[in-house]
Amino acid sequence: MLHAFSAEPKSREELLEIIKDAADKQLLDQEALSIIEGALDVSSLFAREIMVPRSQIVAVHIDDSPREYLPRIIESGHSRFPVYGDSMDDIRGILLAKDLLRLMLEENEHLCLDSILRPANIIPESKRVNILLREFREKRYHMALVIDEYGAISGLLTIEDILEEIVGDIEDETDEDISDEYIKQVSETDYIVKALTPIEEFNEFFEAEFSDAEFDTIGGLLMQSFGHLPKRNDVTLLDHFQFRVLYADNRQLHLLRLTVNP
């Protein structure tokens, strides 16, 4: 397909322009274009940029009893859990839910987690995401714990987190349905916001004072702020609100990550 163009791309930006031109000519559909853009974006990301922060990690203490950790495991819906000792910085290994099920058949109130833990994979915050994805595939593991420059746990990453950066959100039957919600809180200061959120509803939710004289939706307001059609991971600030683009096509914004700064 690229042979149809007179000049080979000399930069990532030129390559994207060629791919977008191909989509405009219907040689690619919009979903394929979005996946290609996501794959190119991943090559420039670091682990710290997409990791689940430490405060949101669902972990198990090595000495917890099943009565203590089973409710957390069931509520989370996850399949892998870091297990720690003296503190969250003392990671003993990774607990797989399927291994725990086999152990539970013994009906022992004091199950020994040590016997079923898998090795923990530790990576620095500066690890490039595309390299990590290759390691996930080659070494056949699905989770990595992220440490900061002092060796403390700062977050974790799963292979699903990386794939979602490429293809968009991957929902399963345990994910909440947010199709009818404009705004969903995901942490104390972070929210997922649809670009179609009416400005009036946004103002009411966040006690903001954005004008809806020119635009009806947050997406329209952000288009004005960016000054162009933004792409995935582009960031802009409006007052004390930081917006990061999670999903956009070549026509409009769709999904945003909002961080409310003090």
Binned at pLDDT 50, 70 and 90, residue 108 comes out as: low
Is position 117 within any domain? Answer: yes
What residue numbers bound the domain in which 122 lies?
Answer: 49-167
137, 131 Cβ separation under 8 angstroms: no
130 and 103 in one domain?
A: yes
Last residue of a domain, one of 115, 135, 167: 167
- pLDDT tens digit string along 111-125? 678 888 999 999 999
* Mean pLDDT confidence for 55-65: 88
Strands 80-84 and 91-96: antiparallel
Binned at pLDDT 50, 70 and 90, residue 92 comes out as: very high
More confident call, 108 vs 237: 237
pLDDT for residue 27 is more than 80: no
83, 92 Cβ separation under 8 angstroms: yes
Q: What is the dihedral of CA 73, 77, 247, 231, to 10 degrees?
A: 30
pLDDT for residue 163 is more than 60: yes
CA distances to 137, 195, 199, 255 from 249, rounded to whole Å, are 28, 12, 21, 10
pTM above 0.85, yes or no: no
Q: Nearest to residue 39, comparing CAs of 17, 12, 66, 61? A: 12
167, 38 Cβ separation under 8 angstroms: yes
158 and 57 in one domain?
A: yes
pLDDT for residue 180 is more than 70: no
